[in-house]
């Protein structure tokens, strides 16, 4: 019988309900949930039955139960303290995006993980979309003119009644929903050079923003990318898209979470629009379906030692860029990637 990798889940919020429970129940191989914990006792009882595992009564008891990984799915602003506690108990960690809200926190935690030889992974599942993997391959040798990113999603005012939308725990559309697609820009285009941003609340009332606009200049070929994202649209999520305008073609990622890909080849007399069904997938929600690929990759690496998963520290450029974009709005100026003090309202 194959060895199975065990997971402890800390935090039983939306991502567990909308995606992760189904993943563990029906999709991954050689992995299972050993124990769970949430400060909400009702959630503990609910998921104890659903996962058919034990819900611990306190965080300390939870941390003392040995498993291969603790998967952290708590509020974004609490990730740092929860990861730090896990490391004190010498536990390997997988953390939902963003791993932390502040650049210095990620650097600090990475040093501890390296010193203790602990595994420290993060979940940016859209990197694993078939469409995204395909686009990364085909744009490698393309002459890119410019890029644009659009996130057209919907969040009702009720969504912002709890921890969402608060600077200390979450940020706005950029740090919560948009971070997935800013991360894809880093994944596809490399490190940025500078950015300038504007934020506003168009419909919702929250501390942070429901609408964010930016211009990002990337290091490679001084490439420019416009970014527009909002949760003010109604009545439901519409699209998350990245359009890459090349010399002789337009490569487009679309769908709810960049899960579809198409190419418009530009000819002198007519355009040739190609929907690439082979590399496109249907998804039920903005969470997509690639959590399975992230966790399966971690499991397979543990069992077979091949295809290294995404180390949390490898998302440092994404966390830096998010803070750059917020700081740009606060300072009303361009912010450089090379700046040492990339501190914004995010996480305060």
Q: 169 with 100, same domain?
A: no
Q: 279 with 143, same domain?
A: yes
- What region does 90 belong to: left with phi over 0, alpha with psi -120 to 50, or beta? left
Q: 90 with 221, same domain?
A: no
* CATH number of the domain where residue 224 is located: 3.30.360.10
Mean pLDDT, to the nearest integer, of 128-142? 97
Q: What is the DSSP letter of 347?
A: T
Mean pLDDT, to the nearest integer, of 161-181? 97
Q: Which residues, including other chains, have CB under 8 Å from residue 319's CB and lie 6 or more apart?
A: 98, 99, 100, 101, 102, 103, 106
pLDDT in tens, 173-220: 999 999 999 999 999 999 999 999 999 999 999 999 999 999 999 999
Q: 150 with 264, same domain?
A: yes
In a domain, 36, yes or no: yes
- Percent share of the chain, pLDDT over 90: 95
What is the C-alpha separation between 34 and 48, in angstroms, rounded? 10
Mean pLDDT, to the nearest integer, of 224-241? 98
pLDDT > 90? residue 228: yes
pLDDT > 70? residue 1: no
Q: In the prediction, which pLDDT does 2 show? A: 75
Q: In the prediction, which pLDDT does 337 show? A: 97
**Can you point out the beta strands (E) in 139-210?**
144-152, 192-200
Q: 230 with 244, same domain?
A: yes
Q: 139 with 243, same domain?
A: yes
Q: In the prediction, which pLDDT does 63 show? A: 98
pLDDT in tens, 108-118: 999 999 999 99
Give 98's strand partners.
none
If one counts the domains in the chain, the total is: 2
pTM to 2 decimal places: 0.96
Q: What is the 3-class SS of 253-303, one letter each residue?
A: EECCCCCEEEEEEECCCCEEEEECHHHCCCCCCCCCCCHHHHHHHHHHHHH
What is the C-alpha separation between 109 and 137, in angstroms, rounded? 32
Q: Quick check: helix, strand or coil at residue 117?
A: coil
Q: In the prediction, which pLDDT does 280 show? A: 98
Q: 264 with 303, same domain?
A: no
In a domain, 321, yes or no: no
* Pair 145, 118: CB distance under 8 Å: no
Name the residue range of residue 235's domain: 127-289+326-336
Mean pLDDT, to the nearest integer, of 165-179? 98
Q: In the prediction, which pLDDT does 274 show? A: 85
Which tops the pLDDT comparison, 306 or 38? Answer: 38
Q: What is the DSSP letter of 177?
A: I
In a domain, 343, yes or no: no
Q: 104 with 140, same domain?
A: no
Q: In the prediction, which pLDDT does 312 show? A: 98
* CATH number of the domain where residue 55 is located: 3.40.50.720
Q: 69 with 146, same domain?
A: no
Q: 138 with 263, same domain?
A: yes
Q: 77 with 109, same domain?
A: yes
In a domain, 344, yes or no: no
Mean pLDDT, to the nearest integer, of 311-340? 97
In 10 A of CB 348, how many CB atoms?
Answer: 10
List strands edge to edge, sheet with 192-200.
271-275, 260-266, 249-254, 239-246, 144-152, 224-230, 211-218, 192-200, 335-336
Q: 45 with 131, same domain?
A: no
Tokens of 136: 């990364």
Q: In the prediction, which pLDDT does 273 show? A: 82
């Amino acid at each position: 019988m194959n060895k199975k990798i065990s997971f402890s889940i800390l935090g039983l919020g939306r991502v567990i309900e909308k995606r992760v429970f189904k993943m563990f129940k029906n999709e991954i191989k050689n992995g299972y949930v050993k124990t769970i914990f949430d400060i909400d006792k009702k959630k503990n009882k609910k998921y104890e039955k659903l996962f058919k595992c034990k819900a611990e009564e306190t965080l300390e008891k939870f941390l003392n139960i040995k498993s291969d990984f603790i998967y952290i799915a708590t509020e974004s602003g609490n990730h740092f303290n929860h990861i730090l506690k896990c490391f004190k108990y010498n536990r390997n960690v997988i953390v939902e995006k963003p791993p932390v809200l502040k650049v210095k926190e990620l650097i600090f935690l990475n040093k501890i993980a390296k010193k203790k030889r602990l595994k420290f992974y993060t979940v940016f599942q859209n990197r694993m979309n078939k469409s995204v993997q395909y686009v990364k391959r085909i744009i490698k040798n393309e002459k890119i003119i410019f890029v644009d990113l659009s996130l057209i999603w919907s969040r009702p005012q009720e969504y912002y009644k709890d921890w969402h939308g608060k600077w200390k725990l979450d940020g706005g559309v950029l740090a919560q929903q948009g971070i997935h697609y800013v991360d894809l820009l880093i994944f596809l285009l490399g490190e940025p050079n500078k950015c300038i941003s504007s934020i506003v609340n168009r419909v919702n009332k929250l501390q942070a923003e429901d609408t964010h606009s930016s211009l990002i200049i990337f290091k490679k070929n001084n490439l420019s990318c416009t970014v527009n994202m909002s949760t003010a649209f109604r009545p439901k999520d519409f699209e998350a898209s990245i359009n890459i305008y090349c010399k002789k073609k337009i490569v487009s990622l679309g769908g709810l979470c960049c899960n579809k890909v198409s190419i418009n080849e530009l000819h002198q007399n007519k355009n040739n629009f190609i929907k690439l069904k082979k590399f496109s997938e249907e998804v039920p929600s903005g969470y997509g379906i690639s959590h399975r690929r992230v966790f399966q990759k971690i499991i397979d690496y543990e069992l077979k030692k091949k295809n290294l998963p995404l180390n949390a520290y490898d998302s440092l450029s994404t966390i830096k860029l998010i803070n750059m974009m917020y700081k740009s709005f606060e300072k009303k100026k361009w912010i450089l990637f090379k700046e040492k003090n990339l501190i914004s309202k995010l996480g305060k």
